[in-house]
Amino acid sequence: MAGIALDGVAKVYDGGVRAVDGVDLTVEDGEFVVLVGPSGCGKSTLLRMIAGLEHITEGSLRIGDRDVTNAAPRDRDIAMVFQNYALYPQMKVRDNLAFGLKLRKTPKAEREQRVNDVAQILGLEDLLDRKPGQLSGGQRQRVAMGRAMVREPAVYLMDEPLSNLDAKLRVSMRAELARLHERLRTTTIYVTHDQIEAMTLGERVVVLRDGLIQQVAPPKELYDRPANLFVAAFIGSPQMNLLEGTVDGDHVVSAGLRLPVRSGRIPSGTQRVILGIRPSDVTIAVAGDARPTLTGTVAVFEDLGAEAHAIMPVDSPRITAEAALAAAEAEADHDGTLLAGDDRAQFTARLDAHSGVTQGETLSLAIDPDRIHLFDPASGAALV
């Protein structure tokens, strides 16, 4: 096993397009790190540079104690798992698993032993004499992982390996990947656009945008302490509510809310901020609740069974900060124009499914001032 160190790594294509721009990142020996971000952010390009499939334009790369910046892929001691499985359809499972070892002229007895060991770990013993066309998607993905495992590399590189699976199978395969890493403790870099995969698998998560690292942190820290507007809006589902706010002494005022702020949190002279509130950090206000409340009419009510989402317009303009818009567009299943005829900000609350809230009713939500997030409208940086 080995750690990975990237120092100022960049990828510049013809025309000066910088797909990856000055990445500094250290992955510790045995760590599972996830690269996440919207399409076109550079995460797959970065993974391919680590693998040696893309030339590094600037900077250097070390795997273990070796500088492999210009080394051929075969000399990097890595194994890669792809999105499309990349299995040989004419070969049986056992031959697919053993193919890389055969190319390296590994003795036959050792090849067979390694194949059998990996097949047992992945539950493939009864499938060794089948061809890929006779396997389900989950079984084929296990074979693809087994082919990487059988080589016993220093580093695993995984490029969206679960994206071709259905939703239920992805959940079980995520659990399988986590269990395998706990058992093997091989250094792993995993690329995904799915924040659920990133948050459940990664010991640390690297959030990328436009080829630049936005934040590197454990999943819980990304959620609780986002470094900027982009991370705040990208991480979390439903995404964080963002409202324009003004500073009035030691309070932030927005959408009828007047929220006290701890002394020293807002730089002196600041007049405007962007206020962030997680949908999970609000509750339905009850009589006598001393916390600030936000009131609106529920325009959309989504009953998801285990929980419900109440969406209501509030008296604040829609956020126009570019970083927040980029994150919202990357995460949304629509074009970002929910309730397009209303220019007010949309506020989402995550509620108990049995709350009794219905569409069209007036809802008052209690806000905990200790759970709010504040951002600089100009730079997008968090005020902490």
Q: What is the pLDDT along the chain (384 residues), one digit of tens a residue?
A: 689 999 999 999 988 899 999 999 999 999 999 999 988 899 999 999 999 999 999 999 999 999 999 999 989 999 998 888 788 999 999 999 999 888 888 999 999 999 998 898 888 999 999 999 999 888 888 898 888 888 889 999 999 988 877 888 888 888 888 988 898 899 999 999 888 999 999 999 999 999 999 999 999 999 999 999 999 989 998 999 999 999 999 999 999 999 999 888 888 889 999 999 999 999 999 888 889 999 999 999 999 988 999 999 998 888 876 766 666 665 554 444 556 567 888 999 999 988 889 999 999 999 999 999 999 998 899 997
The beta strands (E) that lie in 175-321 are given as: 187-192, 204-209, 212-217, 241-248, 251-254, 257-260, 272-277, 282-284, 293-297, 300-303, 307-317
- Straight-line distance from the first to the last Cα atom of the chain, in angstroms, rounded to the nearest whole number: 37
Residue 159: is it exposed, middle or buried by C-beta count within 10 angstroms (0-12/13-18/19+)?
buried
Residue 351: is it exposed, middle or buried by C-beta count within 10 angstroms (0-12/13-18/19+)?
buried
CATH superfamily for 4-229 is P-loop containing nucleotide triphosphate hydrolases (3.40.50.300)
**One fold for both 4-229 and 230-375?**
no
Q: Kindly state the helix (H) or strand (E) to which residue 85 belongs, with its residue range.
A: none
pLDDT at 333: 44
pLDDT at 335: 43
Gap between the Cα atoms of 275 and 282, Å rounded: 14
Gap between the Cα atoms of 155 and 80, Å rounded: 9
| Annotated domain spans of the chain | 4-229, 230-375
Q: Measured between alpha carbons, how far is residue 301 from residues 278, 283, 310, 348, 382 in Å?
A: 17, 15, 5, 10, 30
Phi first, then psi: what are they for 221, rounded to 5°?
-70, -40
pLDDT at 1: 64
pLDDT at 336: 47
CATH of domain 230-375: 2.40.50.140
pTM: 0.89
